[in-house]
Structures are given as C-alpha cells and as structure tokens.
Structure 1
Amino acid sequence: MKWTQLRRMAISLPVAIFAACLMIGISEYGNKQTSQSLSNLAHAYDTRTALSTLTKEMLDAETGLRGYLLTSDENYLKPYNEAIQNISSTLQRIRQLIETTPQGMEFFIPMSHSISRKTAEMDLSLRLFREGNADALKFVMFTDMGNTDMSNIRELARKLDTLTAERAGRYQQDINSSLIMGRIGVATVTLFGLFAFYLYLRQNNMVDRLHKREQALLSEERSRLENLVRERTATLTELANHLQQVREDERGHLARELHDELGALLTAAKLDVARLKSRIDMGNPEIADRIKHMTETLNSGIALKRRIVEDLRPSSLANLGLSTSLEILTSEFAQRSGIEVEAIFEAVELPEATELTIYRLVQESLTNIGKYAKASQIQVTVHRYPTYVAVQIKDNGEGFDLASIRPNSHGLAGMRHRVEAAGGRLTINSALGAGTTVSAIIPTGATPAEAITAI
C-alpha cells in the first residue's frame, strides 16, 4: 500500500509542480499583457477625451464671439476668453498623447495650424469690433476663411478621433486575446491539477467546490461590470439630454435677441424710409426707384429675420399650439420646395418639451426629404390616442437601404435620441425606389413603460 502511494506521488507531484509553474507563468504573462493593453486603452481614451474637449472649446469660443458681436454683451466674452485660454493647453496635451504616433501627427499638425488661424481670425474680429472698424469687420466676417478653418478643424479632429478609436479597438482586441489565453491557460492548468489530484488524493469534491467558487466569482464580476455599464449609459444619456436642452435654450435666447435687437433696427430703418418718402420728391424716377429698392430690401431683411427666428425657436409653438405650428411649417415647406404636402393633425395637449420634440422631428424629416428624397408627395400626420401620440412622415421619394446607413448619420441619430429622451420610440422604414416612412410613438402623460404597454 505504501509503495502504491509512493508511486502515485512520484507521478502526481511532478504533474502538480508543472501545473503550478505553468499557472504562474501564464498568470504573469497574461497580467503583463493585459496591464499594457489597459494602459494603452486608457491612453487612447484620454486622447479622444482631449479631442472632444478641444472641439468643445473651439465651439465655445466661436459661439461666445458671435454672441458678443451680435449683442455687445460682455457676458458672452467669458466663455470665449476661457476657451481661448484653454485651447493651447489642450493642444499641448493632445501633442503629448500622440507624439509617438506618426500618423496621428500628420493630422495634428494641420489641425493645430487651422486652430491658430481660426483663433487669430476671431481675435482680429474682436479687435476690429472694439475699434469700431465696421468695414474691416464685415470683410473679415464675410470671408470664408474662418468657416474653412473650422471645417478643417472638425474634419481633422474627426479623423484623429477615428484613428484613436481604431487603436483603442486594437487594444481592446489585445485585452480580449489575453483574456482568452488566460482562460485557455486556466483550463489547461485545471486539467493538470485535476489529473494530479485524481492520482494523489482522488478528491473530486474539492475540485468541484473550487470550480463553483470560480464560477461565483465570475458571476459576481459579470454583475459588477453590467451595473457599471448601466450606470455609464445612464450618465451619458443624461449628459446628451442636458446638451440637447442647452442647445435649445441657446437657440431660444439667440432667437429672442434677433427678434428684439435686429427687429428693432430693421423696423426703425423702415420707418426712416417711410419718413424720407413723405419728405422728398417722388416724381424723380431715379429717387423713386431707389426708395422702392430700399423698401423691398428692408422687407426682405425683415422676412429673413423672421424665418431665421422661426427656425431657431418657433414662436408659433408657444403662441398657437402644436397643430397650428405644424400647419405653418408644412405649408411654408410646400411653398419653398414645390412638393405637395398632405397634412392631417389632430388637436393634442402635450408638455412644451414634447411639443418641441414633435416639431423638431417633423422639421428634420422635411429637411431630409427636401435634400435627398426627390419626392413629389409627402404625408404628415399626427394622431392622438389615450396614452400616446403617433407621428408619421411619409414620402414617395427614392428611399434608401437601411443597412447602408453610416454610423455618423447624426441627423437620424439625433431624431432617435430626441424621441427616446421623451420616452417614445422611433422607427424608420425605407427601401430603394419605395419611399421612406418615419414613425414615432410618444407618450402623452403616462410613463414610457405604460405607453409602450398600451401600444
């Protein structure tokens, strides 16, 4: 009996030692590879975050400067000055993050040059405005250099972000590979361990308990990661909703400023023209033509101001209600585009945010149809049900393949996010040559879960 035990030990002990050494080696190798990949992944995410911050700072600077030039309100210079101060440090941070990547530097260098030109152009505009040099300011503002530089900045930042995202994907694949290797190694070592324990102790029950313990740990880790993903998703959704609300607030503020300030200026100019018309000799054909042309120009400016204000924040939505606002929107679209629009709107009473969501959905859909669909007929309907409102925009245009929608189709993604933020659901049905139908289901007053159950 003792000889048998010694023989089993002579076989199982080397196997156990080999299994232990193999486990240590695989664990150390996997830990090293995973740590390196995680470090690289964090580096990539830091780069993307810095790029997002840089884009936001450029937008803050441009928006703040435009607000100041339109209103002369010093409060608009606060975000502009803060953004200008932070742009250099953000650029330096991006350079430090990508200086080891030659391909990234190919995008970074022209992007930094475009940023320098854009900031210099904004600084020149601000200086000319403060000096009261209106002619030079108009020349600077109506050149296309600033817009070209801003477009280059967005495009290069997007390319750099795409390059960084690809690198992050590769690092993620490395992590997955390390985890797979670790799992394979653990499985191999487990087999060796089971074999050694079978030969030496035959303690299958102990092996089962160890296996169950590992499963419990994996399940616990999986639950923790799922909770973390849910928390991050909720945070990002809340941030997106906040940014959307901020955008609408800014559009509303800009609309009010244009309506009050620019409207007052145009009205005063029109009154001055009317006063001049009553005091000068209108029998002179040249003077009469000049006065007529001036009046028509002011009327066109007032109409343009009204259209811009309505696009920024439809006043009819607050004053006349959703149905009337949609009737005005579809009627004006039909007049501009020459497309036949059939509108069927049932009277609904909804919160202001929900009404704005439906209005923007219809507005964006009509804009897309006018740009891409080549349609001759459009049907827009709004129907009210006990717990939800159904909105549908249907056209007989060329349609498109849903599978070919690019991930960067922000228009469709923006519509979907608006509807889902209101607790609703958006569906898009389209096929080549068969037109497109955009449908949305939005709850009226019930919770989103109740509305979807009722649907």
Structure 2
Amino acid sequence: MWLNEDTHRRATQTLLEIQQGHAARATVNMLVRRLVEAESNQRGYALTGDRAYLEPYTAALESIDGLLKQLNTRAPREVLDSDAMLSFRNLLSQKIGEMALTVRMRQEDRPEVVNFVVTSNVGLEQMRAFSLQADALIAQAEAIVATKRAEVFRLLNVSRFGLAAGVLAAFFAFFLYVNQTRALREADSRQKQLLEAERDALESQVRERTARLTELANYLQQAVEDERAHLARELHDELGALLTAAKLNVARVKSKLPKDAVDVTERLQHLTETLNQGIALKRRIIEDLRPSSLSNLGLVASLEILTREFADRSGIEVVTALEPVDLDANSELTIYRLVQEALTNIGKYAKANKVHVNLKNYVYHAEVSVTDDGVGFDPADLPQSSHGLVGMRHRVEASGGRLDVNSQPGRGSRVSGTIPRRSAKQQQELAAAVSAMSADSYKASPAPLTPPDAAR
C-alpha cells in the first residue's frame, strides 16, 4: 500500500513536470514568433515611417512580456536554472533593445542612424543567436519531457510490479489462511470425533450401569416383596397358630371355672380381648406386608379395604371410584403399593380433609390417581432423604408405566400412575428382552438370582 501511494505521488509529480516541459516549449516557440512579428513591424516602420506598424509592434512586445512571465511560472526548474535560459533572456533583451533603438531613432527623425542599424548585420546576428538559443531551450525542454516520460513509464512498471507483488502476497496469504483454516477445521473435526467417541462411550457406560442398577433395583424390590410375603406367611402360620391356641386354652379354662370365680372370669375375659387385639394387629401387619385380599378378592376389593381402613384410622374422608381392570399380579401390586404410599404420605404431611382415589380401565392401559385437598408441596424441592416418590416412580416405570406428580403449595396434590396392559405372551417377551439386555450389559449370560425363599 505504501509503495503504491509513493509511486502514485511521484508519477503525478512527473506528469506535472512533463506538462511544464510542453508548456515551456510552446512558450519559447510563441516568444520566437512574437519576436519575429515585432522585428517585422519594426523594420517596416524604420523603412517607411508609417506609424501603422507601431501598434502591432507594441502589441508584440507586450505579448513577449506576458510570455516571459508565463515562462518563469510554467517552465521546469531545470530549464529556468540553466545557462541556456540566462543566455536566452540576455539575447532577447538585446534584440528588444536593438529594435527599440531603431524605432526611437526613426521617431527622432535620424535616418542615418536608422539606415546604419538596418543595413548592418547586428539585428540579423542577434536574431540568429536568439533563434539558436531558443532551439537549445526547446531541445532541453524536449529532453526533460522525454526523461520524465521514461520516469513515468518506470514508475508505472514499478507500480505494476508492486501491484503484482501485492496480489501474489494476497494470494499467498489467502492460501496460508485456507490451509490454516482447513487444518483448524480438521483438528476441530478430530476433536469433535474424539468428544463424540468419549460421549458415546460414556453414554454406553451410563446405559450399561443404568441397566445394571435397574436390574438390581428390580431384584431388590422383588426381594423385598418376597421377604414381605415370607414374613406374612410366618406371622400367619406361626404367630396365628400360637394366638389361636392361646385363645382356645383360655376358652377351655374359662369353661371349667366355677360360677362364683368372678374375678378370675373377668381376668380371663380381659385376656381373651387382648388375644383378639393381638390377632387383629397380626392381621393388619400381614395385610400391610402382603395383602392377602389382593390375591383372594382382587385389586378393587383390596383398594376399597385399604381406603376404608385409612379413613377409619386418619379420620379423613376418602371418596373412591374404582373400575375393574385386567392386569397381571405384578401390575396390580404396583397399583396397590402406589395407593398405599400415597395415602401414607397424605396421612403424615398433607393435612387434608378429603381424598379421591380413582382407578380407570382403558383399552391399552389402566390409570390410578390419588388426589387430596391438603397443603401441597413443591415437587422440585423435596429433601434428599425423601424416597417415597422415588420408590413409587421406580416401581411404576419398572412395570413399563409412567408416574406423574402434580402439586403446588396450598393447592393440594395429585399422584397418578399409568400402567400398560399386557397379555401373558407380552409379559414373556418383555422378560426375555430384559434378560437379553442384562446379558449384553454384563457381556455374558447373568447368573440366575436366588430368591430369599430358595435361599432358606
């Protein structure tokens, strides 16, 4: 850019000097012409005395004076400062002086002086010398013009070469930029591929570990249910037998007491009532551990019993709308546990006055919901130690369903679960798919899990 600007400035100055050279040449030619006109009119006046020659003579001298001023302002500095220019001015002044002397002598009527000047060769020699000096000035101006023209061409070539070099440099810089951009893009692509590979590996690990944790959680959930069922059977068989035997023994002893043993009879009656309370407590614990009504009476009856007992214990009004559903045993247990956990939370925290429990049957799924008018809560602001909703969600999702929790502080809460309906064939296919997924996650066929009953 700097080279181009400097070349442009120098070329402009050189072109101006070329114009000055042309102007100097034209001015010198015009001076010679005007001097010839002045000399012609001067001689005409000197020979004839006709004053008509004086006007063009005077005009020619005035024109010469103006042309000299133009020459001083328009000629190149090399011409103005040269010895040829000094000689040119001196010769011009001498010639003008000679013509002025002749005219003055003619005006003073001194014909002998006029004839001497006219017939002598002084004017001719001065004019010849002036013409030669004018030719020298013109040649000098033309030489300057030629030199400056060559300088202009040289500057143009320099500018052309500079422009070409700039273009080449720009192309080279663009080439470097393209290569650098390509290298950066390739590096970015490689980095992106590495990140994607790491992400895929992490996602694969997350899926694998999620599958393992899900399988473990499902196993633990099933183990808990199996342990509950085992404990319920033990309580029903062992503790039930003991309490029943004790009650029968009390009845046998009571029948053999004399009628006047009122105090003993009252104590036995109190013992019988205590045994009845123990049997009722045993029955309630068994139902909490493993609701026998679920397998004996079905889901609807079990939910009615559960809600009725909750209403009796808590004093909260419970409104039910239960439709019969066709689900497998695990799905029915999932719905039962969801309602049980929701009612437990309502009894502990909700401070509700009324609860609605709904069970709806659809073509492809069943939907259960528990709604209360209590204080509500923020689902996103639950304590870390709260696992009730987390357990419900896992249990529902393990059955292939979805759990929704809708609640706001001061506006109650609603917990709803959607459980898909599957046929026996679909259940078998799902179990096979889960088993295959687990085998892939462990890179080998998993060892069969031993339930608690089998371990015993």
Alpha-carbon spacing, 1:283–1:403, altered in 2? closer, same or farther (3 Å):
same
Counterpart of 1:394 in structure 2: which amino acid?
T
- Cα shift at 1:215: 2.5
Counterpart of 1:244 in structure 2: which amino acid?
Q
Q: 1:255 aligns with which of 216, 227, 232?
A: 232
Partner of 2:400: 423
Indicate yes or no: 2:381 matched with 1:404: yes
Q: 2:269 aligns with which of 292, 296, 303?
A: 292
Q: 3-state SS of the aligned residue for 1:403?
A: coil
- How many pairs align? 253
Q: 1:349 aligns with which of 326, 343, 346?
A: 326
Residues 136-188 of structure 1: CA deviation (Å, up to 9, x unaligned): xxxxxxxxxxxxxxxxxxxxxxxxxxxxxxxxxxxxxxxxxxxxxxxxxxxxx
Partner of 1:309: 286
Alpha-carbon spacing, 1:229–1:288, altered in 2? closer, same or farther (3 Å):
same
| Alpha-carbon distance in structure 1 between the residues aligned to 2:328 and 2:250 | 43
| Alpha-carbon distance in structure 2 between the residues aligned to 1:340 and 1:256 | 32
Structure 2: runs of 5+ lacking an equivalent: 1-172, 428-456
Alpha-carbon spacing, 1:274–1:222, altered in 2? closer, same or farther (3 Å):
same
Counterpart of 1:258 in structure 2: which amino acid?
L
TM-score calculated relative to the size of structure 2: 0.53
- Cα shift at 1:284: 2.5
User: Mapping of 1:388-403 within 5 angstroms?
Assistant: 388-403=365-380
| Alpha-carbon distance in structure 2 between the residues aligned to 1:200 and 1:426 | 56
Residues 293-340 of structure 1: CA deviation (Å, up to 9, x unaligned): 011011011001101111100000010100010011111111111111
Partner of 1:15: none
Structure 1: runs of 5+ lacking an equivalent: 1-195, 449-455
Q: 1:440 aligns with which of 417, 422, 441?
A: 417
TM-score calculated relative to the size of structure 1: 0.53
Residues 396-423 of structure 1: CA deviation (Å, up to 9, x unaligned): 1111122321232101111111111111
- Cα shift at 1:236: 0.8
- Cα shift at 1:433: 1.8
Residues 250-274 of structure 1: CA deviation (Å, up to 9, x unaligned): 0000000000000000000010011
Contact 1:428 1:439 in 2 (8 A): yes
Alpha-carbon spacing, 1:279–1:417, altered in 2? closer, same or farther (3 Å):
same
Alpha-carbon spacing, 1:381–1:215, altered in 2? closer, same or farther (3 Å):
same
| Alpha-carbon distance in structure 1 between the residues aligned to 2:277 and 2:218 | 36
- Cα shift at 1:227: 1.4
- Following TM superposition, the consecutive aligned residue runs of length 4 or more in structure 1 with deviations greater than 6 angstroms are 196-201
| Alpha-carbon distance in structure 2 between the residues aligned to 1:271 and 1:336 | 30
| Alpha-carbon distance in structure 2 between the residues aligned to 1:266 and 1:201 | 92
| Alpha-carbon distance in structure 1 between the residues aligned to 2:177 and 2:295 | 83
- Cα shift at 1:199: 6.7
Alpha-carbon spacing, 1:224–1:300, altered in 2? closer, same or farther (3 Å):
same
User: Mapping of 1:15-414 within 5 angstroms?
Assistant: 205-414=182-391
| Alpha-carbon distance in structure 2 between the residues aligned to 1:329 and 1:411 | 18
Q: 3-state SS of the aligned residue for 1:402?
A: coil
Q: 3-state SS of the aligned residue for 1:343?
A: strand
Q: 3-state SS of the aligned residue for 1:350?
A: coil
- Cα shift at 1:200: 11
Residues 51-94 of structure 1: CA deviation (Å, up to 9, x unaligned): xxxxxxxxxxxxxxxxxxxxxxxxxxxxxxxxxxxxxxxxxxxx
| Alpha-carbon distance in structure 1 between the residues aligned to 2:290 and 2:306 | 12
Alpha-carbon spacing, 1:380–1:202, altered in 2? closer, same or farther (3 Å):
closer
Alpha-carbon spacing, 1:389–1:265, altered in 2? closer, same or farther (3 Å):
same
Partner of 2:146: none
Counterpart of 1:421 in structure 2: which amino acid?
A
